[in-house]
């Protein structure tokens, strides 16, 4: 019986940790967007990088980091993050819209 409790506790603990990481990631991305919107781009970049340390396979975090670097006119870094977002999810709509918009501006 004790073994079953231990197994149950470990599995639910992992679920809680996963849920907490997901919640923290969402909160940090929202805060990053708010900081970016208020002109605090460097602070937003720090948050995005923190998210990417925990969840390196999050296309939204890569995309938002790319937008921040684009705002800072660090186009090489922006392209790196955009490319990674596209590699992770080629159907990520915000990225496609952003790239389409940038290509139309260049015409």
H or E, element range at 39: none
The conformation of residue 107, written as its DSSP 8-state character, comes to -
Burial class (CB in 10 A: 0-12, 13-18, 19+), 1: exposed
d(CA 107, CA 94): 20
42 and 71 Cβ atoms separated by less than 8 Å: no
Would you write out the chain's pLDDT as a tens digit for each of its 107 residues? Answer: 444 444 555 555 566 567 676 778 889 999 999 999 999 999 999 999 999 998 999 999 999 999 999 999 998 999 899 989 988 988 878 877 877 777 677 66
What angle (nearest 5°) sits at the alpha carbon of residue 67, between those of residues 66 and 68?
90
């Amino acid at each position: 019986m004790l073994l079953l409790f231990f197994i149950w506790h470990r599995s639910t603990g992992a679920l809680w940790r996963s849920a907490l990481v997901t919640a923290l990631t969402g909160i940090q991305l929202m805060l990053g967007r708010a900081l970016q919107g208020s002109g605090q781009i460097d602070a937003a970049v720090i948050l995005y990088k923190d998210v990417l340390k925990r969840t390196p396979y999050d296309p939204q975090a890569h995309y938002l980091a790319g937008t921040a670097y684009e705002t800072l006119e660090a186009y090489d870094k922006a392209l790196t993050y955009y490319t990674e977002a596209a590699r992770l999810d080629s159907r990520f709509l915000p990225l496609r819209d952003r790239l389409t918009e940038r290509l139309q501006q260049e015409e």
